Structure 1
Amino acid sequence: MAAAASRSKVLGVLGRLQSGASSCPCHSHAHSHFHPTAGTFNSLLKYGRNYVQAQDTDYAFEMAASNIRFGAGVTSEIGQDLNNIKATKVAVFTDSNLVNLHPVKAVIESLERNKVNYVLYDTVRVEPTDTSFKSAIDFARKHNPDAFVAVGGGSVMDTTKAASLYSSHPEADFLDFVNAPIGKGLPIRKQLKPLIAVPTTAGTGSETTGTAIFDYEPLHTKTGIAHRALKPMLGIVDPLNTRSMPAQVHAASGLDVLCHSLESYTALPFNQRSPRPKDPIERPAYQGSNPISDVWSLHALRMVVEYLPRAYKDPSDFEAQSQMLLAATFAGIGFGNAGVHMCHGLSYPISGLNKTYKHPGYNVDHAIVPHGVSVALTAPAVFRFTSASCPDRHIDAAAAFGADPAHIKESMAGEVLAEKLTRFLEDLDVPNGLGALGFDSSHIPALVEGALPQHRVTKLAPAGEPAAEEIAKVFENSLSNY
């Protein structure tokens, strides 16, 4: 009887929480996204044991991010950083496009000036695959460095994370740490070697996150590895390193920041995600929206709206480039803890199934849909679909694009946001939907099949994991956007 009474009290507390959600400054509208307030925490402390026993959803979130150093020219300090951690052999990873450009030259000059012993791997694949990851892993295992440096965009940083992980686990099978259901999704229990990330694009935010994404060729889809242990020790965020980006790379990278912000802000709340981890090490990096990530994500969204069009249209606009680099880092802190959902989950088969489309501005010898483009093409349809679950958050997002929230009915939140997104994409010369990449209705079953295994992210949609027919409808509605 006592246990039942305590359970009743706990449920009463949760009911008051739900009805009082509007008191939280990060969740100012009363809807299903709720988080405990200070008063509620006191109540939960009192009834904590029964609360834990009564609930299957999580009750906590963690905030994890890399140390970040920002400033024009700060790349020159990296040699001193490596001496400070007493690194004796450093593996520098980059790609063939960057190896002769300023960012890599600045890193190498700093290493040599500070007498840091290093080896160079300069064949990272843009939009990496399991094959290219394995090549980088073999290099790291052969040279056995005690520190890593990644100089490049998300492809380079993610490849370096994988090389570091598997060089520290020489006995591991490649799929051991890859996200389930494609891999085993094992937690990382060893401490990895220090990694310093030097981003050269304003997009992925990979310098702040524990995520490494790649194309898994056997299934023609993207997947990845996600764990806090993969986070770089330090992100060196230097605006001088993005000045060589072509306009289309600026746009594509910035679109990734856009969707990181939108998806993490509208993600399922952390305390509605299940199952609750049995061990804290099993708590996923992508935990659901939470009051801290919300701040970073919404601010990053406002920065993208203001600065991405400027950075794209005027390559000499150094302020816009710098602010976009900061926005990428801010969004990385947000989504690196909250997660992303449908835009990213649906983007992976778009990239994986592309055989012929090659995006302008990318100097590669293979077909490529840049990650940011593949993510953004479904965004208008995605947010039409998700708006009913948390219309207030979609209104907040529309307001970041300049809409007047006072004049947006909740029933129209998704449509208003989708329209703002469509015009934003059109102004950046983004391809007009999936049809512009060569997809048509006949490809939708394969796209859906590729999206279904991505439940690590799609289950964080605000209403939970979408059904196959709902995913198919979003793809259909994304064939043309303008």
Structure 2
Amino acid sequence: MENNLSALNYQKWTVPVPMEYGPGVRNKLVELCQALNISRPMIITDQGSLNLPFVGQMQQALTAAGLECGLFGGIEPNPTDASVLAGASAYQAWDADGIIALGGGSGLDGGKAVALIARQQRCGLWEFDFDRPVPAGFSAADFPPVITIPTTAGTGAETESTAMLTDSKRGIKGCVWHPKARPAAVILDPELTQSLPANLTAWTGCDAIIHALEAYFVPSFNPLSDGAALQALSLLWSSIDTAVNNGQDLEARGKMLIGSCLAGVAFLKGLGLVHALSHMVGATYNTHHGLTNAVILPVVLRFNEQDISPRLKPVAQALDLPDASFETFYNAVCAKLDSLNIPKSLSILGVKHADVTEVARKSLGDPARLTNPRDSSLEQLQTLLKQAIDQARH
């Protein structure tokens, strides 16, 4: 795969949106809505977050301030285009003028995808497919303002317009976006992550770590993203065990939330084969995205060994490893996955050999495959999936 690490090549970089961080900073939501001229906001969230106490509290606070707040909680754990269309209909029925995308990655992606189609009728949802030319003629005013509020430290979806959805007709995960539809503001409140169960804390935290690792290893020159990735790794790696074992530790929760956000900034560079495979396993089996990523990670690291080894020194420093050899790094990753009770094979998640060819074929078309440090064929993807099904790590 072409190496683009030279400082002589043209690059285009972006930086995130305004962010409010701190325990209790969700109380700035009314102020942010008013600053963005949102008078009838709609909270869009996922089914798992819908009944959490702070969702109702936010809705009440907005309504008490004279901002009539609607609520749509129909986004699935793996969001589909169908639920996004339903969310857009709810937005229009409420006569809303802004979106508060709240929840884990699914709630955030669902809210951002609704924003693409809620205010305009010129383009359908999949016309915003990341793999297609960006629809022309749109301005920021064509999309409602979106405030993103993550409730997990994993997705990193809060700073960009991209949203991962399952295409119901094609049976694959695809990415929709528009560069003019970026979130208008982000609220990072670690108190909202304190109620996350230990297993979901581990799974979403692994997702964030993998975002940072895969982004850093993408072979392109982007010091901004690389710096974010390495800082994310340092924060996430050192705090994930505490966050899992003592969910009320606000310091650890805060570091996880910041690290997750930084990792989301980092993967503006792209991702890699962990995500390319995980996206299509998730679309086929409806598995948890972060958990699927974590199981697949060691297999892909070993596949990429020759290409990533020269760049391991800063990673080893971020993870506080004794040396920068691949084996030390690989063994540390496997030990971390063991400590977090990540299964050692995809078969435990229900993935079957009978579907390997189809999942590999779909993964071949995933954009994340194109930014992996090492190129891959259909046969190699099949081999990786078979390894992950049988024994992803020793």
Letter in 2 for 1:294: D
Equivalent residue runs for 1:338-349 within 5 Å: 338-349=269-280
Gaps of 5+ in 2: none
Kindly provide the CA deviation profile for residues 131-183 of structure 1, in whole angstroms up to 9, marking residues without a partner as x: 21221122223334221111211111111111111113213223211233xx6
Of 69, 72, 77, the match for 1:121:
72
Pairing 1:35–2:10 present = no
- TM-score, normalised via structure 1 length: 0.76
Pairing 1:193–2:144 present = yes
Change (3 A) 1:197 1:244: same
Q: Distance in 2 between matches of 1:399 and 1:380?
A: 20
Pairing 1:382–2:294 present = no
Equivalent residue runs for 1:410-429 within 5 Å: 413=326, 415-429=327-341
Secondary structure at the aligned position of 1:165 is classed as helix
Letter in 1 for 2:61: S
Secondary structure at the aligned position of 1:344 is classed as helix
Q: Distance in 2 between matches of 1:342 and 1:403?
A: 24
Pairing 1:293–2:225 present = yes
Q: Distance in 1 between matches of 2:237 and 2:137?
A: 37
Pairing 1:435–2:367 present = no
**Number of positions where the alignment pairs a residue of Structure 1 with one of Structure 2:** 389
Q: Distance in 2 between matches of 1:469 and 1:396?
A: 32
Secondary structure at the aligned position of 2:304 is classed as helix
| Residues 242, 252 of structure 2: 8 Å contact kept | yes
**1:441 deviation in Å?**
3.5
Pairing 1:146–2:97 present = yes
- TM-score, normalised via structure 2 length: 0.92
**Range moving further from structure 2, 423-432 or 105-114:** 105-114
The 4+ residue runs of structure 1 with deviation greater than 6 A are none
Secondary structure at the aligned position of 1:457 is classed as helix
CA-atom RMSD, angstroms?
A: 2.1
Change (3 A) 1:469 1:186: farther
Pairing 1:477–2:392 present = no
**Range moving further from structure 2, 321-330 or 78-87:** 78-87
Other-structure match for 1:4: none
**1:32 deviation in Å?**
4.8
Secondary structure at the aligned position of 1:297 is classed as helix
User: Which is higher, the Rg of structure 1 or of structure 2?
Assistant: 1
Change (3 A) 1:188 1:235: farther
Secondary structure at the aligned position of 1:339 is classed as coil
Change (3 A) 1:73 1:62: same
| Residues 80, 114 of structure 1: 8 Å contact kept | no
Q: Distance in 1 between matches of 2:152 and 2:272?
A: 22
Secondary structure at the aligned position of 1:64 is classed as coil
Pairing 1:457–2:387 present = no
Change (3 A) 1:89 1:395: same
Secondary structure at the aligned position of 1:206 is classed as coil
Equivalent residue runs for 1:95-110 within 5 Å: 95-110=46-61
Other-structure match for 1:446: 358
Letter in 2 for 1:220: G
Kindly provide the CA deviation profile for residues 190-210 of structure 1, in whole angstroms up to 9, marking residues without a partner as x: 312211111111111111122
Secondary structure at the aligned position of 2:99 is classed as strand
Kindly provide the CA deviation profile for residues 413-450 of structure 1, in whole angstroms up to 9, marking residues without a partner as x: 2x443322211111101111212122343332122012
Other-structure match for 2:186: 235
Q: Distance in 2 between matches of 1:441 and 1:122?
A: 35
Equivalent residue runs for 1:73-472 within 5 Å: 73-180=24-131, 186=135, 189-191=138-140, 192-270=143-221, 290-335=222-267, 337-354=268-285, 368-405=286-323, 408=325, 413=326, 415-454=327-366, 456-463=367-374, 465-472=375-382
Change (3 A) 1:185 1:346: farther
What is the aligned-residue identity percentage?
Answer: 25
Secondary structure at the aligned position of 1:375 is classed as helix
